[in-house]
């Protein structure tokens, strides 16, 4: 018996490493780092539903077709820049490659996606993620490319539409390491998420703030209301031109939270999305805006998914017993002047 790695795994590692990251290649580095643990592993047997109501069972495609998933968002500049390449890949895919668009479901609605599809002439199947797909494929940036070989194993994760992606797409069609068994596919499925909704108690999750302190979402020793503020450190700046109203909402919420936190007797916890954000980014945001409430980076996206948060800013309020009583987002948050009076 040899200890040599199968050729497809060696190639996967080579593709992932690629050339040294360029100054403008931070997204590629983030995507590769997030995808490193997935390379060579069985892809999860997720069942997807497109915005047109079509069901796509990925588990049934494994062993038959290679699969190219692209995570994207309508507000994402590099996503829009890469979209012609994505559509061209779909049009030229042939029967041995399934091409599926995965809108990240973050600050996007079905209407936003349909409008963009129409304007850009996008025709490939399109899914809006509810958090499950991002969790399964370690989403950290947009766009994020995931290429799954015909054998059902993850072959490549990246950000750029470059030669590494093209090589992965070619190799994926011929990957013959051996089809992934049903048992392996089942084992690779992400665990079910326990959603927290109005009326439920906060989970006993222990999070670590960016200054290294541990903080409990539900603290039995602290009989105060708890306010979770879901945010993105780039919302106010990156979206200032493409989504000015959303950027204004993020700025308004930040100002309201900081003012309210000084006066109220509630516990305030900021939970930042890990999409396009690192701990250093969050520290920079904290310093720039003199944010005083504790900040936690939800790198995995599990907290956002658990609370079904799909846009920022979103505020969730729990009473002194830890029971969720209110959830406000978007226009509701902007129009409600009293939510911060706790």
Q: Report pLDDT digits (tens) over 170-228.
A: 999 987 666 666 666 666 777 788 899 999 999 999 999 999 999 999 998 999 999 99
C-alpha to C-alpha distances, 171 to 175, 249, 281, nearest whole angstrom: 6, 45, 35
pTM, rounded to two decimals = 0.89
User: Between 10 and 48, where is the model more confident?
Assistant: 48
Is the confidence at residue 61, as pLDDT, over 90?
A: yes
- Note the pLDDT tens digit of each residue in 139-182: 999 999 999 999 899 999 999 999 999 999 999 998 766 666 66
Query: pLDDT above 90 covers what percent of the chain?
Result: 79
Give the C-alpha separation, 142 to 77, whole Å: 9
C-alpha closest to that of 252 among 337, 192, 185: 337
Count of alpha carbons within 13 angstroms of residue 201, beta-carbon side:
10
The fold for domain 206-335 equals Glutaredoxin (3.40.30)
Residue 124: helix, strand or coil by DSSP?
A: coil
Per-residue model confidence (pLDDT) at position 333? 86
Cα dihedral: 201, 204, 206, 209 (round 10) = 10
Asked if residue 39 lies in contact with residue 13, where contact means CB atoms within 8 angstroms, the answer is yes
Asked if residue 295 lies in contact with residue 212, where contact means CB atoms within 8 angstroms, the answer is no
Give the C-alpha separation, 103 to 129, whole Å: 6
- Note the pLDDT tens digit of each residue in 301-323: 999 999 999 999 999 999 999 99
User: Between 265 and 210, where is the model more confident?
Assistant: 210
Residue 129: helix, strand or coil by DSSP?
A: coil
Cα dihedral: 259, 235, 324, 260 (round 10) = 0
Q: What residue spans in the chain does CATH classification 3.40.30.10 cover?
A: 7-188, 206-335
The reply to whether CATH 3.40.30.10 applies to domain 7-188 is yes
Asked if residue 72 lies in contact with residue 79, where contact means CB atoms within 8 angstroms, the answer is yes
């Amino acid at each position: 018996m040899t200890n040599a790695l199968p050729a497809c795994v060696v190639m996967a590692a080579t593709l992932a490493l690629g050339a040294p990251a360029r100054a403008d290649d931070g997204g590629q580095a983030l995507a590769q780092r997030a995808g490193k643990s997935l390379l060579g592993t069985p892809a999860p047997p997720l069942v997807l539903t497109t915005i047109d109501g079509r069901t796509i069972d990925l588990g049934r495609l494994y062993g038959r077709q290679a699969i190219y998933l692209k995570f994207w968002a309508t507000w994402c500049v590099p996503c829009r820049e890469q979209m012609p390449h994505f559509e061209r890949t779909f049009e030229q895919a042939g029967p041995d490659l399934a091409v599926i668009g995965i809108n990240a479901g973050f600050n996007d609605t079905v209407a936003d996606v349909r409008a963009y599809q129409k304007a850009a002439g996008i025709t490939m199947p399109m899914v809006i993620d509810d958090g499950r797909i991002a969790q399964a494929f370690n989403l950290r940036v947009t766009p994020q490319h995931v290429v799954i070989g015909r054998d059902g194993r993850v072959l490549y994760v990246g950000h750029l539409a470059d030669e590494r992606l093209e090589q992965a797409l070619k190799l994926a069609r011929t990957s013959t390491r051996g089809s992934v068994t049903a048992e392996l596919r089942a084992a690779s499925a992400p665990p079910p998420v326990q959603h927290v909704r109005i009326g439920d108690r906060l989970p006993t999750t222990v999070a670590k703030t960016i200054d290294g302190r541990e903080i409990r979402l539900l603290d039995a020793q602290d009989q105060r209301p708890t306010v979770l503020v879901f945010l993105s450190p780039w919302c106010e700046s990156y979206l200032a031109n493409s989504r000015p109203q959303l950027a204004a909402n993020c700025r308004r919420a930040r100002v309201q939270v900081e003012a309210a936190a000084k006066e109220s007797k509630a516990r305030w916890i900021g939970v930042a999305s890990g999409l396009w954000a690192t701990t250093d980014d969050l520290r920079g945001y904290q310093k720039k805006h003199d944010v005083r409430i504790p900040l936690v980076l939800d790198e995995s996206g599990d907290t956002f998914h658990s609370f079904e948060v799909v846009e920022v800013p979103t505020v969730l309020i729990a009473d002194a017993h830890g029971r969720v009583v209110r959830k406000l987002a978007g226009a509701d948050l902007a129009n409600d002047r009293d939510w911060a009076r706790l």
